Amino acid sequence: MANSLIEELLAAYNDLMRFLARRLGNADDAADVAQSSFERVYAHSLAETITSPRALLFRTAQNLLIDLHRGERRRGKHATLDEATDFVVDLRPLPEQELAMRQQLAILQTALEELPPNCSAALLLNRIEGLSHAEIAEKLGVSASMVSKYIMQALRQCIRRLGMPHR
Q: Do 164 and 105 reside in the same domain of the chain?
A: yes
Instruction: Say yes or no: 78 and 110 in one domain.
Output: no
pLDDT of residue 87: 41
According to DSSP, residue 115 is labeled S
One domain, residues 59 and 121: no
Are residues 7 and 54 located together in one domain of the fold? yes
Q: Which of 85, 120, 145 is the last residue of a domain?
A: 85
pLDDT digits (tens, 9 = 90+) for 72-88: 777 664 444 444 444 44
At residue 125 the predicted structure's pLDDT band, cuts being 50, 70 and 90, is very high
- Which helix (DSSP H) or strand (DSSP E) does residue 19 occupy? helix 13-24
**What pTM does this model have?**
0.45
**Of the listed ranges 41-55, 64-78, 149-163, the one predicted with least confidence:** 64-78
CA distance 82 to 84: 6
pLDDT at 76: 60
> Environment class of residue 148 by beta-carbon count within 10 Å: exposed (0-12), middle (13-18) or buried (19+)?
middle
